Structure 1
Amino acid sequence: MPAYTTFARRFALPAILIAAAACDNPAQVSQPIDAGTAEVAASKNIQLREVTLPSGVRLQYAETGRPDGEPIILLHGYTDSWFSYSRILPLLAPRYHAISVTQRGHGDSDRPGSYTPQDFAADVDGLMEALGIERATVVGHSMGSFIAQTVAIEYPGRVEKLVLVGSATVAGNEGVLGLRDAVQTLTDPVPYQFAYDFQSSTVFHPVPDAFLQTAVGESLKLPAQVWKDVLDGLIATRNADRLDEIQAPTLVIWGEQDAIFPRAEQDALIAAIPNATLSVYPATGHAPHWERPRDFARELEKFVKQH
């Protein structure tokens, strides 16, 4: 059975059961709504901040390293937040200025009501403008990987290097469409069990329970309509025919037990992107940076140094 079919079946059944029953200057340190993520940040020497983009959208972000260090921008997956990279940020050397963005609609960032791939990509461009960053290594996981692709296509001058994690050429495969069917049943408040089933279905190698619970809490910050609108925007992403325009050196990272995007999609990515290489993590699911953070951080630094 294909991995993505397994994902759809693992998630859709509990979901169906649940359904039945203005400035452009960098801001000061943010005042996060959720004390749990703030405590995590403080314990790991991660600075939480927020910035208002030239468009007026306010985004929260987390950062580590020297402000003048080599920039790495990290884009999370569907219903996640900056917290998705909380296991990575403390492991990166101080010479890197790592910025984990809570994207529009998610976590404690603004929810402006429009969630197209172009919206998300324009936010990355606006963030870099607001923070005075000309070019960066852009890392994207799952939904964030499709946004990273779009940034590399639409704003090529912004992307020094590209890292795609748990990605594909097309977002709307059988499993993701099955997820959309389940998400369409949601009403507020989104049930805890729904969010837990979604997040846990993406993990193969165990992660700490406290980490998983906090990730679930971040997902529950999204109203039901944002779950729906963001997923519709993701499925509407159409980058497959333009991947050959990506000129930045690209690293594709994939867990061999990824239950969402199969190996064939990884092969298609490296065939389509001119300067791409594939790294496969054994006994790992959809989120290698969650499941094997030390390996991921080492590989990310090695990739940045090599290029």
Structure 2
Amino acid sequence: MIHEAHANGIKLVFREEGDTAAPPLLLLHGRTANHNDWNGFTQHFARRFHVFAPDLRGHGASDYPGSYDMHDMAEDVAALLDHLGVDRLTVVAHSLGAVVACLLAVARPDLVGRLVLEDPPPGRQLTDRPPIVEDGSTGFDWRMMHDTERQLVTPDPAWAKGLAGISAPTLVVSGTRSPFDPDVAARIPGAALVRIEAGHLVHVEARKEFLDAVDAFLDASHS
């Protein structure tokens, strides 16, 4: 089911699947994507979780407010979860969504019980990034691309520092052919690292291996 809610001053559209009595699980997409990036994955996780998959601000059918600080994106998600009455859940997040998930885990440890971070950008300055060239692509706000790129290339030092404060059990899934090295795994206390033969889109390029790694982590960290 597709729903919309007003949270943190904006409209957020989200998909909901699974038994409402099951433990909650949040799926956060990467940059330029939306909840449809998790097609098939929502059904997989809905077998045992109550699944929520929102469109982040500037993406899909959610609002394009013109301001795209990643801390605001994390506040959007927190406000949505508060609106839905979700008080503790598992978060599975890709790329930009993984940054948002980490910021959420730092700011609201009461909400985040477990973290799965798929190919997150590293907690250091990025080099050799090609410039963003706007084309005819739609479904996201190009201003979001420029704003988040600045934050990814030269991250706030508090971003890396905050990773050390994440207390939730964490799995980092890294693509061996990704441009991102998995340094986030070393920055989060006790985080597990699984490397999969894939590029940045691990869940797309190696679906089975990704789900096997995530399911094994969720089974092992179940409480």
- TM-score scaled by length of structure 1: 0.66
Q: Which has the higher contact order (CA 8 A, sep 6+)?
A: 1
Paired residues of 2:81 and 2:87 also in contact (CA < 8 A) = yes
Deviation at 1:304, TM superposition (A): 1.9
1:14-64 deviations in whole A, cap 9, x for unaligned? xxxxxxxxxxxxxxxxxxxxxxxxxxxxxxxxx2222111x2211111122
Aligned to 1:12: none
Aligned to 2:195: 280
Aligned to 1:86: 39
Q: Does 1:182 align with 2:132?
A: yes
1:181-210 deviations in whole A, cap 9, x for unaligned? 234xx3xxx325xxxxxxxxxxxxxxxxxx
Q: Does 1:48 align with 2:11?
A: no
Paired residues of 1:64 and 1:94 also in contact (CA < 8 A) = no
SS of residue in 2 equivalent to 1:161: strand
Deviation at 1:136, TM superposition (A): 0.9
Distance of 2:121 and 2:144 partners within structure 1:
23
Q: Does 1:141 align with 2:94?
A: yes
Deviation at 1:274, TM superposition (A): 0.8
1:191 pairs with one of 136, 139, 145: 136
Distance of 1:130 and 1:237 partners within structure 2:
30
Aligned to 1:202: none
Paired residues of 1:117 and 1:234 also in contact (CA < 8 A) = no
Paired residues of 1:138 and 1:163 also in contact (CA < 8 A) = yes
Distance of 2:49 and 2:212 partners within structure 1:
13
Aligned to 1:151: 104
Deviation at 1:236, TM superposition (A): 5.2
SS of residue in 2 equivalent to 1:225: helix
2:170 pairs with one of 250, 254, 272: 250
Aligned to 1:261: 180
Distance of 2:96 and 2:172 partners within structure 1:
14
Which one has the bigger helix percentage? 1
Q: What residue identity is the alignment partner of 2:218?
A: V
SS of residue in 2 equivalent to 1:303: helix
1:231 pairs with one of 139, 149, 156: 149
Structure 2, unmatched stretches of 5+, are none
Q: What residue identity is the alignment partner of 2:105?
A: A
Distance of 1:242 and 1:167 partners within structure 2:
14
RMSD over aligned CA atoms reads 1.9
Pick closer, same or farther for the CA change 1:79–1:157 going to 2, 3 Å: same
Aligned to 1:73: 26
Distance of 2:152 and 2:21 partners within structure 1:
33
Distance of 1:234 and 1:60 partners within structure 2:
25
Q: What residue identity is the alignment partner of 2:47?
A: P
1:115-173 deviations in whole A, cap 9, x for unaligned? 11210110111111011100111122111111111111111111100111111332641
Q: Does 1:291 align with 2:210?
A: no
Paired residues of 2:30 and 2:96 also in contact (CA < 8 A) = yes
Paired residues of 1:92 and 1:301 also in contact (CA < 8 A) = no
Q: Does 1:64 align with 2:17?
A: yes
Structure 1, unmatched stretches of 5+, are 1-46, 193-219
Q: What residue identity is the alignment partner of 1:226?
A: M
- TM-score scaled by length of structure 2: 0.90
Distance of 2:45 and 2:85 partners within structure 1:
21
Pick closer, same or farther for the CA change 1:102–1:121 going to 2, 3 Å: same
Name which one, 1 or 2, has greater alpha-carbon Rg. Answer: 1
